[in-house]
């Protein structure tokens, strides 16, 4: 591994570990968003925050008219929101898709109070599924209701409600097996990979702008991304790359490399955008043949690329294959996990693709569009071989 990729690895792991210390769920992402904004500004990137709280970090290109490339990730993760308190008894609403164990009595959670104070509580149960759709989700392993009940360990008055709550799981851990385990790899890993990649290319000359967009409330309906797309926070010519973690699938396995994502549950993506990732991957592999990459349609969930596609952008995506997606572990609510090498490889891919901003990589389709002149001449010559002429004459063709 060269010095540049070593620096990306160091930065990416540092950023991810720091983000892990900032528990967040939908609408309560100020901690991660603030950290990303401050660090991006310290790295020399231009940083803005729109009125909905989406954070945009920009590396300015040399040609203001050249199309840019934007890497997009979200700062939230499925969790809960405390909406009522009666002494120690709490009523919570789920935020995003959570597994059935998230509503099971005995599951530990943390209510996040003022200044990030963590207040322990225990789930006591959940409402029964209401309706066929809710029941079908429960049958598939998801919690079939959005109302959950809990009890505080102490007599804490939570004050003004609502308050966010998250699973009581480890913030971040890199094991000896090179597996990263944490409460919310989805999608703090995407945020960390993007920022580490942008930091690594701040001094590189790029023709087009390179953006890192960190959006809010993805888990409850791609809210931040949809607003950013509708409000044209990015020029319509900007290539969009969703940087996600997504549940493992055949052909998208943990440890086999970052995935070039050809689509999600909602839509298939655009090859014109994917060509940037393909070209970047080829450049990395030419210098490092051990670099691993996969390519797959990640259909388990939706991602922000689809939100931008709906508003006319060319889109593509990457994904880190993820275990215990949305904390749905084999034995209950458990930390999500990804491969360190997949994660670092994804950051390297983003950095290399970012350098292509404002260009038009031909990719595989461009190479296929080149006329194979020598081979075409051979086909013509073959038609004149005596046995060839005799065969076609016998078949009734001239």
Q: Which CATH number characterizes residue 290's domain?
A: 3.40.630.10
Quick check: is 308 in a domain? yes
Domain enclosing residue 229, as ranges: 3-77+170-354
pLDDT at res. 136: 82
Quick check: is 380 in a domain? no
pLDDT at res. 1: 39
- H-helix or E-strand spanning residue 151: strand 147-152
The last residue of one of the domains, among 134, 167, 200, is 167
Q: Which residue, among 72, 63, 69, 73, has the nearest Cα to 354 in the 3D structure? A: 69
51 and 94 inside one domain: no
pLDDT at 2 over 60: no
299 and 180 inside one domain: yes
pLDDT at 317 over 90: yes
Q: How many domains does the chain have?
A: 2
Quick check: is 378 in a domain? no
70 and 116 inside one domain: no
The last residue of one of the domains, among 121, 150, 167, is 167
183-187, 322-326, 365-369: lowest mean pLDDT where?
A: 365-369
pLDDT at res. 301: 86
70, 211 in Cβ contact below 8 A?
yes
- H-helix or E-strand spanning residue 261: strand 258-263
Quick check: is 33 in a domain? yes
pTM of the predicted model as reported, rounded to 2 decimal places: 0.92
Quick check: is 129 in a domain? yes
pLDDT class of 233 with cuts at 50, 70, 90: very high
Quick check: is 379 in a domain? no
Q: Which residue, among 262, 246, 242, 264, has the nearest Cα to 254 in the 3D structure? A: 246
Q: Which pLDDT tens digit goes with each residue over 206-221?
A: 999 999 999 999 999 9
213 and 104 inside one domain: no
pLDDT class of 365 with cuts at 50, 70, 90: low
pLDDT at res. 382: 83
The last residue of one of the domains, among 112, 146, 167, is 167
């Amino acid at each position: 591994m060269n010095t540049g990729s070593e620096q990306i690895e160091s930065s990416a792991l540092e950023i991810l570990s720091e983000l892990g210390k900032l528990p967040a769920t939908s609408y309560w992402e100020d901690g991660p968003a603030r950290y990303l904004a401050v660090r991006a500004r310290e790295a020399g990137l231009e940083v803005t925050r729109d009125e909905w709280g989406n954070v945009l970090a920009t590396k300015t290109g040399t040609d203001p008219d050249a199309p840019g490339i934007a890497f997009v990730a979200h700062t939230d993760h499925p969790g809960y929101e405390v909406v009522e308190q009666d002494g120690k008894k709490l009523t919570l609403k789920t935020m995003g898709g959570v597994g059935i164990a998230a509503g099971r009595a005995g599951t530990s959670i943390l209510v996040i109070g003022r200044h990030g104070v963590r207040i322990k509580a225990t789930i006591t149960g959940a409402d029964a599924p209401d309706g066929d759709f809710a029941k079908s989700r429960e049958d598939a392993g998801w919690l079939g209701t959005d109302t959950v009940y809990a009890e505080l360990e102490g007599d804490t008055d939570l004050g003004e409600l609502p308050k966010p709550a998250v699973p009581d799981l480890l913030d971040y851990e890199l094991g000896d097996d090179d597996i990263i385990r944490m409460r919310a790899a989805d999608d703090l890993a995407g945020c960390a990979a993007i920022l580490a990649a942008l930091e690594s290319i701040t001094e590189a000359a790029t023709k087009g702008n390179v953006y890192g967009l960190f959006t809010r409330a993805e888990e409850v309906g791609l809210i931040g991304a949809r607003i950013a797309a509708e409000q044209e926070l990015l020029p319509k010519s900007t290539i969009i790359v969703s940087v996600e973690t997504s549940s493992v699938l055949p052909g998208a396995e943990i440890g086999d490399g970052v995935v070039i994502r050809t689509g999600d549950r909602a839509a298939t993506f655009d090859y014109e955008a994917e060509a940037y990732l393909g070209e970047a991957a080829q450049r990395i592999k030419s210098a490092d043949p051990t670099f691993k990459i996969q390519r797959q349609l990640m259909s388990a969930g939706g991602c922000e690329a689809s939100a931008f596609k709906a508003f006319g952008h060319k889109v593509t995506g990457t994904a880190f294959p993820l275990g215990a997606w949305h904390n749905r572990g084999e034995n209950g609510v458990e930390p999500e996990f990804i491969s360190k090498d997949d994660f670092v490889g994804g950051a390297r891919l983003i950095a290399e693709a970012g350098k292509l901003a404002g260009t038009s990589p031909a990719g595989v389709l461009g190479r296929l569009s080149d006329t194979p002149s020598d081979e075409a001449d051979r086909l013509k010559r073959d038609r004149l071989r005596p046995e060839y002429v005799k065969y076609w004459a016998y078949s009734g063709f001239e």
